[in-house]
Amino acid sequence: MTSVILREDAQLLLQVTTMLGKLLLEYGAEVYRAEDTVQRVAKSAKNVREVDVLATPGWIFVSFHMGNESHTKMRRVRTATIDLSKVTRLNDLSRRMTSGQMTMEEAESALLAIQREKESAPLLPVAGGLIGAMAFTLILGASVGDTICAGLAAVCMLAAQRIGERFHVTFFVDTLIGSVVSSAAALVMYRLGLVENFNLAIVGSIMLLFPGISITNSMRDALSGDFISGLTHGMQALATALAIAIGVGTILLIMQGVPA
C-alpha cells in the first residue's frame, strides 16, 4: 500500500514539475532558470532524492527517485511566446510550492488556471509595437511622416501575425508573414506618396522581428556550457533572420521598379 501511495505521489510530482517547466519555457523564461526552478520544486517534495532536470528550448526532462523506484517524464515545448507577467506568476507559485504553502494538487490547479488564462490586455503588444517601430525609425533619421508610416506598417504586421497564430503556424512562417506584410504596407504607403524614404520605413517596422532575445540567449547558454540550448537558440536566430530577408526581398522583387 505504501508503494502505491508513493507511486501516485511521484506521478503527481512529475506532472506538476514538467508542466511548470513547460509553461516557463513557453512564456519566455530562460532555459537555465526553468531548470533551476523545476529542480528546487522537485527537491522540496518529501521522500525525493537524486533529482535531475534537463531543459532545452524544445523539451524538458524531469527524473528523480522516490522510495525504491525511479521516475522520469518528458514534456514537449511546441510554442514559445513572451509573457513576463505569467513568468512572474509561475515564479511566485514555485516559491509557494518550495516553502510548503500549497499541496501538489493545489499547485496543479493553479498551473492549469495560468495556462488557460487569456491575454489580459490584447492591445498592449500592438501599442508597444507601434511605439517601438516609430522609435526605431526616428533614431534612423527618418522624417515624422515616415516614422508614423513605419508605425502603421508595424501594426499591420502584428495584426497579420495575430491571425497566423490562430492557425498555429511555425515561428519561421510567422516571421515570414510579418516581414512580407510590413514591407508591403510600407511600399504601398510609398506609392501613395505618404512615405519619402521607404527603406527607413521598412527597416523601422521589421526591427520588431529582430531576434535579439534568441541571440542573447544563444551566447549566454553557449558560454555557460549548455551547447544544446545555445545551438538551438542560435539556429532559431538564423532562421528568423532568413525569414525576414526572404519576406522583404520577395516584396521588393514583386514591386520592383519603385525608385529609391
With contact defined as beta carbons under 8 Å apart, do 193 and 201 qualify?
no
CA angle 221–77–163, rounded 5-degree value: 110
Strand partners, 66: 48, 69
Q: Work out the pLDDT band at 172, boundaries 50, 70, 90.
A: very high
With contact defined as beta carbons under 8 Å apart, do 203 and 179 qualify?
no
pTM of the entire structure? 0.84
Average pLDDT, the chain: 88
The confidence score (pLDDT) of residue 120 equals 66
Residue type, 232: T
Q: Work out the pLDDT band at 177, boundaries 50, 70, 90.
A: very high
Cα-to-chain-centroid distance, residue 176: 16
pLDDT tens figures, 113-151:
999 988 767 788 889 899 999 999 999 988 999 999 999
Q: Strands 48-55, 59-66: parallel, antiparallel or unpaired by DSSP? A: antiparallel
With contact defined as beta carbons under 8 Å apart, do 153 and 186 qualify?
yes
Share of the chain residues as helix, strand and coil, in percent rounded to the nearest 5: 70, 10, 20
- Going from N- to C-terminal start, the domains of the chain cover 2-116, 124-254
